[in-house]
Amino acid sequence: MGFFGSLDGRVVAAPSILSADFAHLADEVRRAKSGGAELVHFDAMDNHFVPNLTVGPVVAASLVRATDLPVDAHLMVENPDNLVPTFIEAGVNSISVQPETVTHLHRLLVMIREGGCEAGVALNPTTPPEAIEWALPYLDYILVMSVDPGFGGQSFIPEMADKVRRVREMTDLPVQVDGGISEKTAPLMAEAGAQVLVAGSAVYKGDPESEMRKIVAAARHAAGQA
Ligand code: DX5
Ligand code: ZN
């Protein structure tokens, strides 16, 4: 069973490498792991779906070799179908795609799972949860974006806590949240039922170990798991 399938209700956190120092990626991940991170969130951006450009499967493969944490790829790219096979080959644990970029979502989710990865979808702030209702049997997790994808350091959109609640009414699948997550906002999302908290700038703005630790503690406390 994969990372998301084994969570069993536990609240966990992941650093987003987008705000890390890319010249020292393995070390940046190691420091977040010392603060309690259990997953690494890997943001791939293409300057088409989002107006930013980051890294792809080659860097993912290096990171997979350099860390013992599972690597979770969040694809913010047009035509993710072209990249999914190489991310699978790179050895990532899980791949989430933005349904706004996919024509044949069912086929793509099946491809991700058949490649041995867990499959997720990432919902933009105004994409309704109902858009993925018929995809639920093919999913291992749902990512609720709490900012518009593209950049780190944006402001948390507070209505997204209600969206997490709505998703939780639809399904028991683990909900991941991404965007503006900090020691202050993580509890709001954990209270709403989010289980996997992704944080970029809040972790790498200071000492990743202590910043990660604060976010994990705040989220677990809110979820009654302290
Ligand atoms: C945004 C990315 C996020 C980003 C979050 O498009 O998907 O993973 O790194 O950054 P923060 O935590 O700074 O909002
Ligand atoms: Zn992300």
Does the annotation mark 68 as catalytic? no
Distance 144 CA to ligand 1 centre (A): 12
Q: CA torsion angle for 157, 5, 78, 127 (degrees, to 10)? A: -40
Q: Which of 8, 21, 178, 207 is catalytic?
A: 178
Sequence-ordered list of residues with C-beta below 8 angstroms from that of 17, at least 6 positions apart, any chain:
25, 28, 29, 40, 41, 42, 43, 63, 200
- Ligand 1 atom having least distance to the Cα of 179: 14
Distance 182 CA to ligand 1 centre (A): 11
What is the per-residue pLDDT for 5? 98
Average pLDDT over every residue of 103-115: 98
> Which of 16, 94, 98 should be mutated for ligand 1, with most atoms under 8 A from CB?
16
When pLDDT is cut at 50, 70 and 90, the band that residue 226 belongs to is confident
Average pLDDT over every residue of 94-100: 98
Q: What are the distances in angstroms from CA 109 to CA 32, 38, 97, 217? A: 29, 24, 9, 33
Does the annotation mark 178 as catalytic? yes
Domains: count for the chain: 1
What is the per-residue pLDDT for 222? 98
Protein residues near ligand 2, an ion, with CB under 5 A: 43, 74, 178
> Which of 54, 151, 189 should be mutated for ligand 1, with most atoms under 8 A from CB?
151
Instruction: Supply the range of the domain harboring residue 35.
Output: 4-222
Q: Which bound ligand lies closest to the C-alpha atom of 203? A: 1
pLDDT, tens only, 166-195: 999 999 999 999 999 999 999 999 999 999
Whether residue 1 is predicted with pLDDT greater than 90 in this model: the reply is no
CATH number at residue 207: 3.20.20.70
pLDDT, tens only, 140-163: 999 999 999 999 999 999 999 999
Average pLDDT over every residue of 115-139: 98
Could you tell me if 3 and 173 are in contact, meaning their C-beta atoms sit under 8 angstroms apart? Answer: no
Could you tell me if 23 and 62 are in contact, meaning their C-beta atoms sit under 8 angstroms apart? Answer: no
DSSP 8-state code for residue 4: G
Q: Whose C-alpha lies nearest to ligand 1, atom 7?
A: 149
Question: What percent of the chain is modeled with pLDDT above 90?
Answer: 99
Distance 137 CA to ligand 2 centre (A): 23
